[in-house]
Amino acid sequence: MTDESPELRASDADRERVAERLREAVAEGRLDMEEFQERLDATYKARTYGELAPVTRDLPDASAPSAVPARASSTGTGAWAERIGGAGTSSRGVAIMSGFSRKGVWTVPRRFNCFAFWGGGEVDLREARFEAPEVVVNCVAIMGGVDVIVPPGVEVVVRGIGVMGGFEERLGDDLPERGAPRVIVTGFAFWGGVGVKRKVTRAQKRQLKEERRRGELE
């Protein structure tokens, strides 16, 4: 993969290596978010090495796609820079003798309020973006329950109060990753509960299994 063969078709792995170098450049302060987004769009649209090479040409050790080092991530979360920023897409969840769910790709606002009365709710942050480096998930559960699911690497602080109910943490020993957002879970539980747990997505589970399998074969 050099400038001498710019017409050769690039693979998905080539594009991912360049995308990862761009994420590292944001974390290093070499690119701002606007530049990052423009270059990331160009990366995923690129079909040949000739189209990929200019994306990282002005970054250290990135004169061609082959020069961009791949960085392994056991969780698949990688760098966080591209997941922080933008306006929140949902500000509340309400379950009154019913349920609500916020999951998949969405943007968590600076403060997300949820209320469950004789019902249940789910706030899943595993594939979410974050409006700010620190967000608050405020949960009120009255004879109901709310589950907050966070991905590995995120810093979590739980400050809720329970009366004949409580806040349960199942976060494990996972350490915060550099640049990861901080999630503060707060609120009130009366005859109800708020559960905070850390989980990976199914896709990340498959990736972990594949990484372990490759490690066993090497």
- Long-range contacts: 104-111, Cβ < 8 Å, 24+? 105/129, 107/131, 108/135, 108/137, 109/135, 110/134, 110/135, 110/136, 111/135, 111/136, 111/138
- Spacing of C-alpha 164 from chain mean position: 34
Amino acid of residue 213: R
Over residues 72-96, mean pLDDT:
76
Is 16 or 79 the better-scoring residue by pLDDT?
Answer: 16
Cα-only R_g, the chain: 21
Token pair of 154 as six digits: 């995120």
Q: Which of 59-73, 137-151, 153-167, 190-204 has the lowest mean pLDDT?
A: 59-73
pLDDT in tens, 91-124: 999 999 999 999 999 999 999 999 999 999 999 9
pTM (2 decimals)? Answer: 0.60
Q: What's the mean per-residue pLDDT of the chain?
A: 83
Q: What is the mean pLDDT of residues 46-53?
A: 90
Segment 5-14, tens digit of pLDDT: 778 898 888 8
Residue 217: per-residue pLDDT: 62
The pairs formed by 22-31 with CB atoms below 8 angstroms and a separation of 24 or more are 22/55, 22/56, 23/78, 23/79, 23/81, 23/82, 24/71, 24/79, 25/56, 25/59, 26/79, 26/81, 26/82, 27/79, 27/81, 27/178, 27/179, 30/59
pLDDT(75) > 70 = no
Specify the higher pLDDT residue, 115 or 21: 115
Task: Pick the closest to residue 58 from 87, 5, 21, 109 (CA basis).
Answer: 21
How far is 162 from 195, CA to CA, in rounded Å?
12
